[in-house]
Amino acid sequence: MKTDLQIAQANEMADIREIARQIGLGEDDLELYGKYKAKISQHVMANVAQNPDGKLILVTAINPTPAGEGKSTVTIGLAQALQRLNKKAIVALREPSLGPVMGMKGGAAGGGHAQVVPMEDLNLHFTGDMHAITTANNMISAFIDNHIFQGNTLGIETVTWRRCVDLNDRALREVDINLSRLTQEHQRRDGFDITVASEIMAVLCLAEDLDDLRARIGRIVVAYTNEKTPITVCNLGIAGAVTLILRDALLPNLVQTLEKTPAIVHGGPFANIAHGCNSVQATKLAQKLGDYAITEAGFGADLGAEKFMDIKCRVANLKPDATVIVATIRALKMHGGVEKAALTQENIVALQAGIVNLEKHIENMQKFGVPFVVAINKFVTDTQAEVEALQAWAQTNNYPIALCEVWEHGGAGGEALAQKVIDICENQPSNYHPLYDLDLPIADKITKIATEIYGAGTVEFTPEAQAQMATFTANGWDQLPICMAKTQYSFSDDPKLLGKPTGFTLTIRELRASVGAGFIVALTGAVLTMPGLPKQPAMLQMDVASDGKAIGLF
């Protein structure tokens, strides 16, 4: 076994062609973006289609808090640990959005000894996927407005398509546009979403191949006539042009972890306002090229994992073999009522009070029939007594649990968790099934998620949402799955209700039909599809040294 020092000394990145060879790919299978990153060529998926599927591991977490959960760090560390145990492991992750990188979150490539590199590239422009998605989205907007200006032969009355940008900018949530400065004839209200909440992002992540991408783009509904007839990108005649812009962005990106474990990083929808999973192509490639494919779903299991199970797995015909539920003692203490400033103090009473949040996520994951293991992502401030208290609770309830120290020790710190995952995959068959049937009415599907996953007592629909449900049903879209847009901080739609709230009322204020992506977005509470910047954005600490190295991006 390598020591931590040996790992640190060997952390110089390998040529990406060397990483590709680990998983059976040659230089002809890559489109190189410099020495350390590459896109995987379109023909590879067809070439490996007959390969057996590797085990699919989903990493999820409890509801996030300012204390930190480290889901991406555990995901990367688990892949490194499986590699140390002589398993061919590939980690499949989402691409970071520039908005939160520059805003509150900062860098999003893991942490400590469990990171994906090149970190600077990943957190900034990477291979240009985000820019391509933004451009494709806004080209549709430009064409819609030009069509209206040039005579509006399609009879567009109401435009539902919104512009996007990969930044946090609250000033763009609503904007007024005027196609003619001399008259009021073509004036209307518009707005921007963050790129990762756009339907183009979802379409890219759920597309099986280039033909499927083109078909999904064509189905996107962008507007309605005065007779409420939907108008699609296909009706506009630009599905081919939009697909062309996204041609290269559709190709998954290959990079590596600090321990040279292959990492496929592709797509980046948020889980609180979108479906929160990396691309179908990235996940399937990881399964076809490795023995173990380790992927994650954004935020807590009530959001990302539910959407992974009910949307992504259903669309892509995936069957996860195991789920890892990440929890930290710090976060559980916050769910138990402790303020952030007091988290370094031992508090077993608060820990035990906050465990209800973890317990509810375990209960939820069991509804999908997939075996699970709890990962304690250990912080250096956790006391031995707190760790033992959490382990004792798990043992009493017969929940599999493993201590994980990948931030400090890399793959070596994740071997106990990796062994648990291997044991589950070899000895406990997965009986995966989605939570709800697609033939349920829209309101019933939403209510099932709200009551069974969130713990709501009732669901209320605003008049606007009720009217939208009627329109969607009349158009035959009621067979689509639901993508809930909800605060990540709570099971409820109130971010201040930590722990395990029950019996609350969940309010659905608006529905959006993402027909190209293949789901209906239900917006709850005050959740927004364009975030704002905090008072002290992370960008205030960022700079670049004279040698070109990034400063403050971690």
Asked if 161 contacts 144 with a C-beta cutoff of 8 angstroms, the reply is yes
Active site annotation includes 94: yes
Is the distance from CB of 269 to CB of 65 less than 8 angstroms? Answer: no
Catalytic residue among 192, 270, 372, 407: 407
pTM: 0.93
Quick one: which of 514, 512, 524 has its CA closest to 459? 524
Joined tokens for residue 128: 């240009």
Q: Which of 126, 143, 372, 379 is catalytic?
A: 379
Q: Which of 71, 87, 260, 288 is catalytic?
A: 71
Active site (annotated) includes residue 71: yes
Write down the catalytic residue from 38, 197, 271, 412. Answer: 271
Query: Does the annotation mark 500 as catalytic?
Result: no
Per CATH, 4-128+249-427 and 129-246 having the same topology is answered: no
Q: What is the pLDDT of residue 102?
A: 86
Strand partners, 237: none
Taking the chain (554 residues) in runs of 10, the rounded mean pLDDT of each run is: 41 92 96 97 94 97 89 96 97 91 77 92 92 97 93 94 94 85 72 94 96 98 95 98 98 97 95 92 97 95 97 96 97 93 94 97 97 95 95 97 96 97 96 97 98 97 97 96 95 94 96 96 91 88 88 80
CATH of domain 129-246: 3.30.1510.10
| 43 burial type by CB count under 10 A (0-12 exposed, 13-18 middle, 19+ buried) | exposed
Residue 260 is among the residues annotated as catalytic for this protein: no
407: annotated active-site residue? yes
CA distance 362 to 359: 5
pLDDT of 104 reads: 75
Of the candidates 65, 73, 75, 507, the residue annotated as catalytic is 73
SS3 162: coil
**Regarding the domain with residue range 442-524, which homologous superfamily does it belong to in the CATH classification?**
Formyltetrahydrofolate synthetase, domain 3 (3.10.410.10)
- Using alpha carbons, select from 435, 68, 485 the residue that is nearest to residue 271: 485
DSSP states of 195-240 as a string? Answer: GGGSHHHHHHHH-SSHHHHHHHHHH-EEEEETT--EEEHHHHT-HH
Q: What local confidence, expressed as pLDDT, does residue 7 receive?
A: 44
Task: Exactly one of 2, 17, 88, 105 is catalytic; name it.
Answer: 105
Q: In 3D, which of 59, 58, 55, 113 has the Cα closest to residue 89?
A: 55
Helix (H, G, I), strand (E, B) or coil at 358: helix
First to last CA, the chain: 28
Q: Is 35 a catalytic residue?
A: no
- In DSSP terms, 326 is beta-bridged to 61, 375
| DSSP class of 414 | G
The pLDDT value given to residue 1 = 40
Catalytic entry in 299, 372, 477, 504: 299
Give the per-residue pLDDT at 528: 86
State which H helix or E strand residue 397 sits in. none
Phi-psi sector, 277: left (phi>0), alpha (psi -120 to 50), beta? beta
DSSP string spanning 434-494?
-SS-TTS-HHHHHHHIIIIII--SEEEE-HHHHHHHHHHHHTT-TTS-EEEE--SS-SSS-
Q: Where are the domains of the chain?
A: 4-128+249-427, 129-246, 442-524
User: Would residue 73 show up in a list of annotated catalytic residues for this protein?
Assistant: yes
Q: Which residues of 232-241 are buried (b: 16+ CB within 10 A; e: fewer)?
A: bbbbbebbee
Closest listed residue to residue 265, CA positions, set 6, 437, 40: 40
CATH entry, 4-128+249-427, from 3.90.1150.30, 3.60.21.10, 3.10.450.50, 3.40.50.300: 3.40.50.300
Which residue is catalytic, options 37, 87, 94, 284?
Answer: 94
